[in-house]
Amino acid sequence: MNESILFNSDGETAAQTATALLTRQGYRVVRSFDLRAALAAHTDCACPYHGTTHCTCQFVVLLVYGNAAGPVVVTVHSHDAQAHLRLVQDALTQPDPHLAGQVMAALRETVLSRSVAVIQSPEGTAHGR
């Protein structure tokens, strides 16, 4: 389950949409990191995509709480007008599989209401566009 949801929008819009959707479905969502806020005090940081300090990139970390002991971690990474939402899963961060499945299913609902695509990791195949 290394899927990514591709939003055809900026990262802030994608993060707000995901937060609103998950909150409506009864999850508690906490924004634990926001790249734009973190860089506000650092005006001399050059963007690796744009090569300037005037960039539109965003990286947000959302902690999504349900009935499981710990949260599901969702990242929103955007560059220009595309944002990827992805559940964090690695050897150190294994979310409750039931909660992770519920959160991913809830996020997939955005496919029905917005112009987004659900895709798998680079080695996978596309699920929908």
Q: What is the pLDDT of residues 94-116, one digit of tens each?
A: 789 999 999 998 888 765 565 55
Does residue 32 have a pLDDT over 50?
yes
pLDDT average, residue stretch 15-24: 92
Q: Say if CB 82 and CB 58 are below 8 A apart.
A: no
What CA–CA distance (Å, rounded) separates 80 from 92?
Answer: 30
Does residue 80 have a pLDDT over 70?
yes
- What is the pLDDT confidence band of residue 23, given thresholds at 50, 70 and 90? very high
pLDDT average, residue stretch 69-77: 92
Find the DSSP H helices in 30-84: 35-39
CATH of 4-119, one of 2.60.40, 3.30.160, 1.20.120, 1.10.3210: 3.30.160
- What is the pLDDT confidence band of residue 49, given thresholds at 50, 70 and 90? low
Residue linked to tokens 């409506």:
24
- What is the pLDDT confidence band of residue 129, given thresholds at 50, 70 and 90? very low
